[in-house]
Each structure stands twice: as C-alpha cells, then as structure tokens.
C-alpha cells in the first residue's frame, strides 16, 4: 500500500476562504448537457478511469481528492490541473504537494480518451471530466453511483496563494465556517468527510496527536507510532483501504480517526449523532454523500464569459 494517496481534503492551510457561488453559472449545469455534443462521454470516462485504477491503486483516491481540492479553492474549474512555467500554481503550493501525480494522470488520460472521439474533440471541459472521474472513483470502489451535473467551463488562473483549505486541527466551528462559505451544511461536510474511507495521510498530519490527544484510542496510537517509525504515511481507513464504505464513521466511534479534524466529528456532541447514523446506515451515507458531491460541484462554476474549454488541461488555450 506504499502508493496509497497521502493527502487529505481537510489537511491544508488554516485559512478559511469563501468561494462565491454564481446562481447563473450553477443554473447552466444539467445531467444531459453533452447528450447531443458528446453522447458517449460518460462511457468513455468510465472506461478510462477503470483502466487508470487497474494500473495504480492510488489513481481513484487521488482523482477524488483532486475534485475536492479543485472545487474548494477557486471553484470547480479545473484550475488545480494548470501548470505554470514559473511554478506559481495550486499544485505547487506547499500545502498541495501531497496530491499524487497518478490522480492528475488519470484526468489527463480521460481527457485524451474523450478527445480521441472526433465527435467530442475539444468540446468537453477538463472541469467536467474531473467531476465525472471523481464519481467513477467512488462508484468503482464500491460507493454510490450518482448522476453528475455537467456544463462547467475551465478557469484560466491558478496561483499558489489561492490554495486554502481547512487544517487538520480545525474544530467543528471552524469546519462549519469553511464549508458554509461553499454553500454547504454541517451534514454535507460530515458526508463529504466520509471520502476519507479511501486514501492515506502523511504522518506529519497527525503525529502530534499520538500520545497527547485523549480522543485517540490508545491501541490505535501505539499502532500509528509503529507505522510512522517505519514509513511516512498511514491509511485513513486501514480496515477497508480500497473500498468506499461507511467504516470511516465506525472508526470515529472507536477513537480511530486518523486526523484531528476527522475525530472531532465524533467528539463534538453537535455532530456525533450524524456520525452514529452514518456508521449504522451506509445507504443514508451514500445518499447524502452523492447529494453533497452534487452541491460541491456547483461551487464557483465558470461560464463561457469567464472560462473556456481547454485543449490541454495543463494550460490555458
């Protein structure tokens, strides 16, 4: 498992950012957007992501994390994919270096596959391909299959300074403040946190909790101490690391949440009830996760007026 993704959606800068949601831009999204433009789009992306996941066990978790990072920073505009020659882009932010190349490659491969269809060539945004790839990463790992709203345009700007996400030691109030800025509720935040059923985190993100945080199970702390003595990361959900399920919430019940910002969802009485409900009702978790992903996918959507359809996901046209 040495190549499992080591980043976390909730592991980044401790500055809260408000991404404005344009009602007009969000209104352009619909599930049948490419029906007459690129009718085979979803099948093409599904096949490409399946191949990527077969080639690398971190491709799925990495693609899902890319979608989270992209939407929560500048909106869902694939700005996370841009690579600037001077290194001033989101991926090169010190807080974003843990995003894995396999995730980026999965999106680039899906884009190439889509553009390989003459009917689709240069007509589908990288932002939409990223949204579809995230759904496939979840579904093909055993999670819910949900309809993805499409019609996003790609952004043209990506800078290191624009990258801000919640920190691993955020409390519930800080988490809620950040997610409310994205138009998401506490329930949405708890459901999206369930994405931590896939992937891993660097030891630097949680080592200060070992032996000092009373909310961490002592046996789990000893296990993590041994793990980090031999390698630089630990699985977010060691029980079912390759499967998308509700075991993340059962881990929180047992004091086995890897990140402080995960475990606080159980230790804080205001969110514990939702954690308990998801822990015993996987179907409800799947339903709420799908709804939250749809809402997240509407954040900061670009239109033809302020976006484009990139030919290469790594650079503006």
End-to-end CA distance of the chain, in Å?
Answer: 38
Task: Report the distance separating Cα 260 and Cα 267, nearest Å.
Answer: 10
**With DSSP H G I counted as helix, E B as strand and the rest as coil, what are the percentages for the chain, rounded to 5?**
50, 5, 45
The answer to whether the beta carbons of residues 179 and 185 sit under 8 Å apart is yes
Active site includes 69? Answer: yes
Q: How far is CA 1 from CA 5, 231, 239, 240, in A?
A: 9, 11, 13, 12
What letter does residue 277 receive in the DSSP assignment?
Answer: H
Question: What's the CA gap between 114 and 165, in Å, rounded?
Answer: 31
Among residues 3, 69, 92, 196, the one annotated as catalytic is 69
Q: Alpha-carbon distance 160 to 250, whole Å?
A: 36
Rounded Cα gap, residues 20 and 39, in angstroms: 31
Read off the tokens for 155.
């952004």
Query: What is the C-alpha separation between 231 and 207, in angstroms, rounded?
Result: 12
Neighbouring residues of 287: CB distance < 8 A, sequence distance ≥ 6 = 144
Would you tell me how many other CB atoms lie within 10 Å of the CB of residue 14? Answer: 14
Count CB atoms within 10 A of the CB of residue 199: 26
The label of the residue with tokens 């409310």 reads 180
- With beta carbons less than 8 A apart as the criterion, state whether 121 and 268 touch: no
> Which residue, 111, 9, 123, 97, is CA-closest to 52?
111
Contact between 12 and 164 (Cβ < 8 Å): yes
Residues carrying an active site annotation: 69
């Amino acid at each position: 498992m040495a190549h499992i993704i080591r980043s976390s959606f909730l592991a980044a800068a401790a500055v809260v950012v408000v991404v404005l949601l344009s009602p007009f831009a969000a209104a352009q999204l619909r599930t049948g957007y490419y029906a007459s433009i690129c009718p085979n789009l979803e099948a093409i992306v599904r096949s490409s992501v399946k191949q990527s996941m077969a080639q690398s066990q971190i491709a799925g978790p990495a693609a899902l994390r890319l979608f989270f990072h992209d939407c929560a920073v500048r909106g869902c505009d694939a700005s996370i994919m841009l690579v600037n020659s001077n290194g001033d882009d989101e991926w090169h932010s010190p807080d974003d270096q843990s995003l894995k190349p396999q995730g980026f490659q999965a999106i680039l491969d899906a884009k190439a596959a889509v553009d390989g269809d003459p009917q689709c060539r240069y007509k589908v945004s990288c932002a939409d391909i990223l949204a579809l790839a995230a759904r496939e990463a979840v579904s093909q790992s055993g999670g819910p299959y949900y309809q993805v709203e499409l019609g996003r345009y790609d952004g043209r700007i990506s800078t290191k300074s624009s990258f801000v996400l919640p920190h691993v030691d955020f409390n519930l109030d800080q988490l809620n403040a950040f997610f409310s800025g994205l138009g998401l509720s506490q329930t949405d935040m708890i459901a999206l946190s369930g994405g931590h059923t896939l992937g891993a985190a660097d030891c630097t993100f949680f080592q200060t909790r070992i032996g000092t945080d009373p909310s961490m199970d002592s046996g789990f702390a000893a296990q993590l101490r041994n793990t980090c003595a031999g390698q630089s990361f630990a699985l977010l959900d060691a029980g079912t690391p390759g499967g998308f399920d509700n075991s993340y919430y059962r881990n929180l019940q047992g004091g086995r949440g890897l990140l402080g910002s995960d475990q606080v969802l159980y230790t804080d009485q205001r969110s514990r009830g939702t954690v308990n409900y998801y822990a015993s009702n996987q179907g409800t978790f799947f339903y709420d996760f799908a709804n939250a992903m749809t809402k997240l996918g509407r954040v900061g959507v670009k239109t033809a007026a302020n976006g484009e359809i990139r030919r290469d996901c790594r650079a503006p046209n």
